[in-house]
Amino acid sequence: MAMDSTCLQCGKPFDASVVANRFAGVCPSCLAKFAADDSGDVQPSPGAADPTIKPPLKLGGTFHGLEVVELLGAGGMGVVYKARQPGLDRFVALKILSPRLSGDPEFVARFNREAKAMAALSHPGIVHIFDFGKEADLCFLVMEYVDGLSLRHLMKDRLLAPEQALKVVPMICEALDFAHSKGVIHRDIKPENILLDKEGRVRIADFGLARMVSGPPGAPTATLSQVVMGTPGYMAPEQYQGMNVDHRADIYSLGAVFYEMLTGQVPIGRFDLPSSRVQIDVRLDEIVLKALATEPARRYQRASEVKTALETVALAPRPLPVPPVAAAAPPVRVRQRRPWLIFFFVGLMVYYLLRRMNPNSFGSLGFMEFAILFGLFTMALAFTWRVMNRSPRDSATPPSEFTGELSGGPRTSRLAVSAFVWTIVGTALIAASLVVPAFMRARG
């Protein structure tokens, strides 16, 4: 098997053809370890020293006029200490780079160039570089000490709420946009390098892998062999493929960090939309996907654009789902009193009592005939009463058909006339039933 590539993670040679193009530059062994790591850690976090690395300094000793107080962490690039600067009576972070790297003249030249670029980055969101140099064959950086936690430690304890992510990511965008405007890219944006102080303010640390990109095209640049220029899972495709990168590689890494903040997972290979894993605003899906676009031209072109998009989501109210149109509910009929029923039954009782007292009171009009005729008369009165008092509020008829007045329209007038006619007809029938029998008896 031909060993034709060097792993960007462990530095060992391997056959690049056995790894999918999504992870070109990382050997199968490192890829397997990364996939099996449930915690999501791809690099040792600050504050957790790597036991395989021997610390070059002793606690309690001095280095470059600084008192070494505490070991903060160790990784592939070197060891970080908490130190005290007696002259200014302040704590600083002292980073001692690996002796293997410090012995490489090419690395030292690159280190001096990049350290100057880092020291020029004066921004509240970037860890300040106070001093740098080489002493006792060790390259070192004296940096601002941030009393707080890394984003990695914060996410280990609990999954961040979307509201918290929407506060943290814009601050990262501000710091990155400033660094990019100075021609500096980070190349290794990941939760371990994002620090939050006790006030909740963001500091981006470890610009040690940054590269000056403001030089003229074609200018010679030193290369650093066998050094991981990024972290798998957070590196942009063009970065792990060994292509030339620009500030948009940091935007890709920022998208990966944002995805992990929302879901607790690193976006590896084919990944689900954030909204399918957690309950968040679906508009964040578009922002994450655009930041994680494979082609740099399809991503956000500046970190400030990511910030603007997030602020738009944070300020604009979340669109509410449109409820399905339900079928119109049938009109509620308010049960009304029916005085005409009482009137009808009272009339029947009067008829019965009068016939008992005088059988000839109603002539030959029998009880059933009287009930029918009197019922028609009662219905005509009830219908007339209802039409005269009808309004759109207590009717299922559209308001255009009724105005609440008798003269409200043609339909109202027709109903009133019909009721009046029924009343006249009912009255005439009752009168005929009383008069005709009496007339017939008089003639007989």
Of 174, 103, 167, which is closest to residue 134 (Cα–Cα)? 103
Higher pLDDT, 18 or 180: 180
- The half-sphere exposure of 138 on its side-chain side, counting CA atoms within 13 A, is 18
Q: What is the pLDDT of residue 410?
A: 52
Q: Per-residue confidence at 403, pLDDT binned at 50, 70, 90?
A: very low
Token pair of 129, please?
């570089």
**pLDDT surpasses 80 at 237:** yes
Which is the catalytic residue, given 177, 188, 206, 250? 188
Q: H or E segment at 132?
A: strand 129-135
Token pair of 201, please?
């303010």
How far, CA to CA in Å, does 440 sit from each of 368, 370, 426?
Answer: 20, 18, 21
Tell me phi and psi for residue 90, to 5 degrees. -145, 160
How does DSSP assign 359-374, residue by residue? TTTTTT--HHHHHHHH
Work out the average pLDDT over 308-316: 88
How far, CA to CA in Å, does 261 sit from each of 46, 135, 249?
Answer: 18, 39, 19
Q: If you search the block for the tokens 């006339």, which residue do you land on?
A: 417
Contacts by 48-53, CB closer than 8 A, 24 or more apart: 48/73, 49/73, 49/74, 49/79, 50/74, 50/75, 53/79
Of 171, 194, 233, which is closest to residue 8 (Cα–Cα)? 233
Q: What is the pLDDT of residue 120?
A: 85
Rounded to 5°, the CA angle 209-244-194 comes to 30
Q: Per-residue confidence at 350, pLDDT binned at 50, 70, 90?
A: low
Q: What is the pLDDT of residue 109?
A: 87
The Cα 112–Cα 439 span in angstroms is 134
Higher pLDDT, 306 or 36: 306
Out of 119-123, 385-389, 401-405, which region has the weakest mean confidence (pLDDT)? 401-405
Q: What is the pLDDT of residue 162?
A: 87
The Cα 391–Cα 394 span in angstroms is 6
The Cα 34–Cα 231 span in angstroms is 10
> Does residue 315 contact residue 276 with C-beta atoms inside 8 Å?
no
Provide the phi-psi class of 136: left if phi over 0, else alpha when psi is between -120 and 50, else beta: left
> Does residue 35 contact residue 269 with C-beta atoms inside 8 Å?
no
**pLDDT surpasses 90 at 83:** yes
CB atoms within 10 A of CB 73: 20
**pLDDT surpasses 90 at 396:** no
Q: Does domain 37-214+227-315 have CATH number 1.10.510.10?
A: yes
Pairing of strands 184-185, 211-212: antiparallel
Q: What is the pLDDT of residue 369?
A: 61
Q: 258-274 burial, b for 16+ CB within 10 Å, e for fewer?
A: bbbbbbeebbeeebeeb
The Cα 403–Cα 417 span in angstroms is 17
Indicate the angle between helix axes 303-315 and 283-291, nearest 10 degrees.
170
Q: What percent of the chain has pLDDT over 70?
A: 54
**pLDDT surpasses 50 at 441:** yes
Residue 281 designated active-site: no
Q: What is the pLDDT of residue 150?
A: 92
Tell me phi and psi for residue 59, to 5 degrees. -65, 140
Residues 178-208: tens digit of each pLDDT:
999 988 888 889 999 999 998 889 999 987 5
Domain spans of the chain, in order of start = 1-36, 37-214+227-315, 339-443
Q: What single letter denotes the amino acid at residue 88?
A: L
Out of 80-89, 235-244, 269-278, 435-444, which region has the weakest mean confidence (pLDDT)? 435-444
Out of 264-268, 411-415, 421-425, which region has the weakest mean confidence (pLDDT)? 411-415
Task: Report DSSP state, residue 331.
Answer: P
